[in-house]
Amino acid sequence: MSDGLRTQIGQLARRSVLRTLRQPAQIVPALIFPLFLLAVNSGGLKGATNLPGFPTDSYLTFALAVPFMQGALFSVMNAGTDLARDIETGFLNRLALTPLRGAALLSGLLAGAVVLGLLQAVTYLLVGLTAGAELAAGAAGGVVLIVLSVTVTVAFGTIGLFAALRTGSGEAVQSLFPVFFVFLFLSSMALPLELLQTQWFHDIASANPVSYLLQAFRSLLIEGWDLGELALGFGIAAAILAVGMLAASRALKTRLVRT
């Protein structure tokens, strides 16, 4: 990486991180809302651990994977809304007049998502463990879990960037939120895949990549080290990241041509 590119990324990353940290409205819901649902679901669905084949006797441990995914969904909104605001206020137009490279812009904008993802992952893990969840993979597993969480958060953040560049509207990015919640709800969020009895729901959840991301998180929490589950989880996150970055890069080119 050239010095120029490094400087460009550094400047935009600093701006992105500061902007994220200065907006409690972005951070607080992303921390509180998933933890509230974790508390409610782990209390309400505790009885599910009595089902034959349920992988653990602690529903809290099973459900702790979900906040990591919900946090990633928030990053779609946060990364996308920030960029959309830059488009709406004309900041992107001003950047277009500088020799800034597209890769620097996109990478820099994702720095805020990385910081928020890290903050979320550490908070969810600490709260979960304090509440009594298990971490079968131990301390090293905790580190891998945080790395996976940040990777997934950044991967989903690229989708937010793509949406912002395509639409140029913060409102349109916000309207994507329910769409991503559909992916979460139609997954193995509440029960393991093998315990989903309704056939059509099982089929959809089996085809939904979110189910496998959840399984990767759960493997560290419940089973210990399952390299197959982890490889699948990281692989899916990397694929979303690659596709998201490619789509965002193309949308950026189109957006800059328009301006």
Partner 1 sequence: MSEPRPAGLRAVALAVAWRSVHNFLTNPAFLVPALVFPLFFFVSFAGGLSAISNVPGFDFPPGYTAFQFVFVLLQSAAFGGVFTGFGIARDFETGFARRYLLAASHRAGIVAGYALAALIRAFVTWTVLTTVALVAGMNVYGSGAEVFGLYGLAVCVNLGATMWAAGVAMRVRSIQGGPLMQFPVFLILFLAPVYVPLSLLSGWIHAVASVNPTTALLEAGRGFISGDPTVVVLAFGLAVTLPVLFALWARGGLRRAEAAG
* Min dist. Cβ of residue 216 to partner 1 (A): 19
The yes or no reply on residue 186 touching partner 1 (CB under 8 A) is yes
Give the residue with the Cβ less far from partner 1, 63 or 154. Answer: 63
Q: Report the residue count for the chain.
A: 259
Residue 193 binds to partner 1 (criterion: CB under 8 A): no
Give backbone dihedrals phi and psi of 201, rounded to 5 degrees, phi first: -70, -40
Distance in Å, CB of 192 to partner 1, minimum: 10
Q: Which of 2, 50, 98, 130 binds partner 1 (CB under 8 A)?
A: 50
| Shortest distance (Å) from residue 95 CB to partner 1 | 30
Q: Which of 56, 103, 201, 223 binds partner 1 (CB under 8 A)?
A: 201
Query: Which residue, among 223, 213, 62, 209, has the nearest Cα to 133 in the 3D structure?
Result: 62
Please identify which residue in 51, 126, 239, 246 interacts with partner 1, judged by CB under 8 A: 51
Q: Which listed residue (4, 14, 91, 185) binds partner 1 by CB under 8 A?
A: 185
Q: Residue 202: which residues within 8 A CB-CB, separation 6 or more?
A: 193, 196
d(CA 206, CA 198): 12
Per-position x/- string for 105-144, each x denoting binding to partner 1 as judged by CB under 8 A, each - no binding: ----------------------------------------
28 touching partner 1, by CB under 8 A: no
CA separation for the pair 206, 191 (Å, rounded): 12
Min CB(175)–partner 1 separation in Å: 8
d(CA 190, CA 62): 8
Q: Is 225 in the site for partner 1 (CB under 8 A)?
A: no
Exposed/middle/buried for 40, CB within 10 Å: 0-12, 13-18, 19+?
Answer: exposed
Cα(115)–Cα(2) distance, rounded to whole angstroms? 24
Question: Least distance from C-beta 233 to partner 1, angstroms?
Answer: 20
In the list 46, 85, 101, 250, the residue contacting partner 1 (rule: CB under 8 A) is: 46
**Is residue 195 at the binding interface for partner 1, with CB under 8 A as the rule?**
yes
Q: Tell me how far apart the alpha carbons of residues 56 and 189 are, in angstroms, rounded to a whole number.
A: 15
* Integer CA distances (angstroms), 3 to 7, 10, 116, in order: 6, 10, 26
Pair 176, 76: CB distance under 8 Å: yes
Rule CB under 8 A: which residues touch partner 1?
Answer: 36-37, 39-41, 43-48, 50-51, 178, 182, 185-186, 189-191, 195-198, 200-201, 205
